[in-house]
């Protein structure tokens, strides 16, 4: 059915990356200076790739939509970054890290890629520490680790509650050093609107200058997308509100397959929605579940103050359902269980759409001081937003869209199905299967950018050393630019009555209700129809003030939302097609008698990769079969 070539090197799992590195083609320094590479995105994956490619001698053109590359969404990561250093001597190893990621992803990721991600994780920590990332240390002066995300070893490096900010600043500093040297040209406040493909190869991008509105053409010998995830499709999510799918979606429409789009991680511990104006859901770190107990009242619709509800009247439903793991079950399991209770009428708060996260027992046992030392900043943040002091009464939490495991299909070289187009970080699909483990994304982003892409892109560029600098005065650029301008003009021309945000909210609600934590056939079919109708309404009634030639934030939003309609539809198609439950994807039709996810390996051990086939049409499916030679496929059980 498909001819997807994942290009996994031969040989034993543990030797694949080394033998691949030894066999890829190299580019001489003189030739590197003649090769241009575009990198879209300056998050952890992009910034680490940009600095490394520039150090190698390529000419790099870097893009981001924020005013400064340092503000990419990676700054928001809180909990930490994994590596298999085994500093705690607790039996950790590259193999164990690999095994945990594969198992956590519910056996829907590619073994070889995951093993490599685990393998380079140690070097990443070395690199970051050398670049000045102030990871937490013990009194001895050596690096500290903690256990995170329900695994049995302590392998997570962290910088208080702002690991992402510190890791990104490390990568950003490497990148600005190269800007200063003239090896990187930085284009901030740019939106990538389209990918330019010439004779089947990625050769450039079309961008909009967000200050002047000017449409620009940029060419290169290869293009790298590091444009992050699309969890903002739900409107409310834990992501920075500017996060979007436009860059990957443009690449998709130009021929790059999009894999497992419906695999979205819903994080169990976010602040619940407070009102209709809310623009964003704030994540409360997963670590809180180490000392907090989750409960709802046993009585339906019990509206009493939580402190008045006695111990016997509380249902600690995670402890009840999952005695072995209790409050520490994986994210997807905790999220679904919260939804189940709230849907059944046991939820708390004004809307009934939240559950309690209670610290009273831990405070009683260890004292307020100890709890404050561990979570002080999180408690403060909670109080700042809700006005409730969690030392005195339980927090209220609810699940929120958080991370997209799906993304552009890439082979072992991180190249998409378009030659010369690469995808790294959250924008690709490759390492987390159907569910991502905590602290695994920063690890993957930095590994891709510092150590993997710079090697594999060389193999491609070695074949381009005779290609002169690409001119932007060619019909392919002209066509892409014209199409981008036409799309912007038609958005502005609608001149309807409803704001872009109102459409985004409605789309988000459809996605959340029907393609969120729980999915079923009827709902997904409905969702597809509803999205089509909403999209039609959008193109007839959206109101975007202002013009093309100025700073126009409504127009920026409209471009993103227009793409979200198309992506949302594909997510539903993907979720419909996968009639099994796996990881974060829960199909009601596929559950065990106890209501747990039922994976169906015989039918669904594949990566679903979708080909674009024209506006409004269903996509065409290509399957990449997954084989597991180095791990035993087990049922995930947390009972």
Ligand X SMILES: Cc1cc2nc3c(=O)[nH]c(=O)nc-3n(C[C@H](O)[C@H](O)[C@H](O)COP(=O)(O)OP(=O)(O)OC[C@H]3O[C@@H](n4cnc5c(N)ncnc54)[C@H](O)[C@@H]3O)c2cc1C
Catalytically annotated residues: 331
Task: Give the nearest residue (CB) to ligand X.
Answer: 43
Q: Indicate the burial class of 448 (C-beta count within 10 angstroms; 0-12, 13-18, 19 or more).
A: buried
3-class secondary structure, 521: helix
Among 63, 107, 412, 503, binds ligand X (CB under 6 A): 63
- Distance from C-alpha of 129 to C-alpha of 60, rounded to nearest angstrom: 25
Q: Which one of ligand X, other proteins, none is in contact with 46 (Cβ closer than 5 to 8 A by kind)?
A: ligand X
Minimum CB distance to other proteins smaller for 378 or for 434: 378
Q: Which one of other proteins, ligand X, none is in contact with 42 (Cβ closer than 5 to 8 A by kind)?
A: ligand X
- Contact call for residue 333 and ligand X (CB under 6 A): no
Give CA angle at 157 (154, 158), nearest 5°: 125
Question: Do residues 207 and 215 lie in contact, with contact meaning Cβ atoms separated by under 8 Å?
Answer: yes
Phi, psi of 24 (to 5 degrees): -70, 155
Minimum CB distance to other proteins smaller for 73 or for 599: 73
Annotate 530-562 with b (16+ C-beta within 10 A) or e (fewer): bbeebbeebeeebebeeeeeeebebbbbbbbbb
- Contact call for residue 226 and ligand X (CB under 6 A): yes
Minimum CB distance to ligand X smaller for 246 or for 605: 246
Minimum CB distance to other proteins smaller for 132 or for 301: 132
- Contact call for residue 77 and ligand X (CB under 6 A): yes
Minimum CB distance to ligand X smaller for 41 or for 399: 41
- Contact call for residue 508 and ligand X (CB under 6 A): no
- Contact call for residue 65 and ligand X (CB under 6 A): yes
Q: Indicate the burial class of 262 (C-beta count within 10 angstroms; 0-12, 13-18, 19 or more).
A: buried
What is the layout of strands, in order, in the sheet containing 190-198?
A: 190-198, 201-209, 215-219
- Distance from C-alpha of 189 to C-alpha of 626, rounded to nearest angstrom: 40
* Cβ at position 408, least distance to other proteins in Å: 23
CB atoms inside a 10 Å sphere around CB 598: 16
* Cβ at position 254, least distance to other proteins in Å: 27
* Cβ at position 451, least distance to ligand X in Å: 15
- Contact call for residue 228 and ligand X (CB under 6 A): yes
Could you tell me which of 440, 463, 447 has the C-alpha nearest to residue 414?
A: 447
Phi, psi of 391 (to 5 degrees): -70, -25
Among 92, 191, 291, 332, binds ligand X (CB under 6 A): 191
Instruction: Give me the residue label for tokens 């003649």.
Output: 34
Could you tell me which of 322, 308, 314 has the C-alpha nearest to residue 268?
A: 322
Residues 252-311 that bind ligand X (CB under 6 A): 283
* Binding flags for ligand X, 380-409, as an x/- string (CB under 6 A): ----------------------xx------
Helix axes 163-180, 44-56, angle to 10 degrees: 30
Question: Do residues 270 and 355 lie in contact, with contact meaning Cβ atoms separated by under 8 Å?
Answer: no
- Distance from C-alpha of 72 to C-alpha of 243, rounded to nearest angstrom: 9
Minimum CB distance to other proteins smaller for 60 or for 570: 60
Q: Which one of ligand X, other proteins, none is in contact with 173 (Cβ closer than 5 to 8 A by kind)?
A: other proteins
- Contact call for residue 201 and ligand X (CB under 6 A): no
Q: Which one of other proteins, ligand X, none is in contact with 244 (Cβ closer than 5 to 8 A by kind)?
A: ligand X
Among 59, 80, 408, 570, binds ligand X (CB under 6 A): 80
3-class secondary structure, 283: strand
- Distance from C-alpha of 379 to C-alpha of 389, rounded to nearest angstrom: 7
For 198, the token pair is: 């010439």
- Contact call for residue 430 and ligand X (CB under 6 A): no
Could you tell me which of 317, 184, 202, 308 has the C-alpha nearest to residue 248?
A: 202
Instruction: Give me the residue label for tokens 């994080």.
Output: 267
- Contact call for residue 452 and ligand X (CB under 6 A): no
Instruction: Give me the residue label for tokens 């999915």.
Output: 519
3-class secondary structure, 421: strand
* Cβ at position 64, least distance to ligand X in Å: 3
Region from 211-219, 293-301, 307-315, 440-448 binding ligand X, contact rule CB under 6 A? 440-448
- Contact call for residue 196 and ligand X (CB under 6 A): no
For 175, the token pair is: 């990148």
Minimum CB distance to other proteins smaller for 2 or for 501: 501
Minimum CB distance to ligand X smaller for 74 or for 147: 74
Region from 239-247, 288-296, 302-310, 470-478 binding ligand X, contact rule CB under 6 A? 239-247
Among 59, 74, 260, 435, binds ligand X (CB under 6 A): 74
The site for ligand X (CB under 6 A) is made up of 40-46, 63-66, 72-74, 76-81, 163-164, 190-192, 226-229, 238-239, 243-244, 246-247, 283, 402-403, 425-427, 439-442, 445
């Amino acid at each position: 059915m498909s001819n997807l070539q994942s290009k996994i090197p031969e040989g034993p799992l543990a030797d694949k990356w080394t033998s691949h590195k030894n066999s890829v083609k190299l580019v001489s320094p003189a030739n590197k200076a003649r090769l241009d590479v575009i990198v879209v995105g300056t998050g952890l994956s992009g910034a680490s790739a940009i600095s490394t490619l520039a150090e190698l001698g390529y000419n790099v053109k870097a893009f981001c939509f924020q005013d400064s590359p340092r503000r990419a969404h990676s700054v928001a990561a809180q909990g930490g970054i994994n590596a298999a250093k085994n500093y705690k001597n607790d039996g950790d190893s590259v193999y164990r890290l690999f095994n945990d990621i594969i198992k956590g992803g519910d056996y829907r990721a590619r073994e070889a890629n995951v093993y490599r991600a685990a393998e380079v994780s140690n070097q990443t920590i070395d690199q970051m520490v050398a670049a000045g990332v102030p990871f937490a240390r013990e009194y001895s002066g050596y690096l500290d680790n903690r256990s995170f995300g329900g695994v049995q070893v302590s392998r997570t490096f962290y910088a208080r509650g702002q690991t992402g900010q510190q890791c990104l600043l490390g990568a950003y500093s490497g990148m600005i050093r190269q800007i200063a040297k003239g090896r990187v040209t930085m284009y901030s406040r740019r939106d990538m609107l389209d990918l330019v493909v010439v004779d089947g190869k990625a050769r450039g991008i079309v961008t909009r200058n967000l200050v002047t509105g000017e449409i620009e053409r940029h060419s290169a010998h290869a293009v790298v997308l590091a444009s992050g995830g699309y969890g903002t499709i739900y409107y409310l999510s834990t992501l920075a509100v500017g996060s979007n799918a436009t860059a990957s979606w443009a690449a998709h429409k130009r021929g790059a397959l999009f894999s497992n789009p419906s695999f979205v991680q819903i994080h169990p511990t976010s602040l619940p929605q407070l009102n209709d104006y809310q623009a964003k859901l704030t994540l409360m770190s997963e670590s809180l579940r180490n000392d907090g107990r989750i409960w709802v009242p046993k009585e339906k619709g019990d509206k009493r103050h939580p402190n008045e509800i006695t111990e016997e009247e509380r249902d600690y439903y995670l402890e009840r359902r999952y005695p072995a793991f209790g409050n520490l079950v994986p994210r997807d399991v905790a999220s679904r269980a919260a939804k189940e209770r709230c849907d059944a009428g046991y939820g708390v708060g004004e809307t009934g759409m939240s559950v309690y996260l209670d610290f009273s027992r831990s405070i009683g046992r260890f004292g307020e001081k100890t709890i404050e030392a561990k979570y002080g900043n999180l408690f403060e943040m909670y109080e700042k937003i809700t006005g409730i002091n969690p030392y005195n009464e339980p927090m209220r939490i609810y699940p929120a869209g958080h991370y997209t495991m799906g993304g552009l299909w890439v082979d072992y070289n991180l190249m998409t199905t378009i030659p010369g187009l690469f995808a790294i970080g959250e924008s690709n699909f490759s390492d987390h299967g159907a569910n991502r483990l905590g602290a695994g994304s920063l690890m993957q982003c930095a590994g891709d950018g510092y150590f993997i892409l710079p090697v594999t892109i060389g193999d491609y560029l070695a074949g381009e050393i005779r290609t002169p600098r690409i001119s932007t005065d060619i019909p392919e650029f002209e066509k892409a630019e014209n199409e981008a301008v036409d799309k912007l003009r038609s958005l502005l021309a609608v001149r309807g009555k409803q704001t872009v945000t109102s459409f985004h909210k409605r789309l988000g609600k459809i996605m959340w209700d029907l393609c969120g934590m729980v999915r079923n056939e009827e709902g997904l079919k409905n969702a597809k129809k509803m999205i089509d109708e909403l999209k039609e309404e959008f193109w007839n009634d959206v109101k975007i003030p202002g013009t093309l030639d100025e700073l126009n934030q409504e127009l920026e939003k409209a471009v993103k939302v227009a793409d979200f309609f198309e992506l949302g539809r594909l997510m539903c198609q993907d979720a419909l097609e996968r009639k099994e439950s796996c990881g974060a994807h829960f199909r009601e039709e596929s559950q065990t008698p106890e209501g747990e996810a039922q994976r169906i390996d015989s039918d669904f051990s594949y990566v679903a990769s979708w080909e674009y086939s024209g506006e409004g049409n269903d996509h065409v499916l290509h399957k990449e079969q997954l084989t597991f030679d180095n791990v035993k496929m087990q049922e995930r059980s947390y009972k």
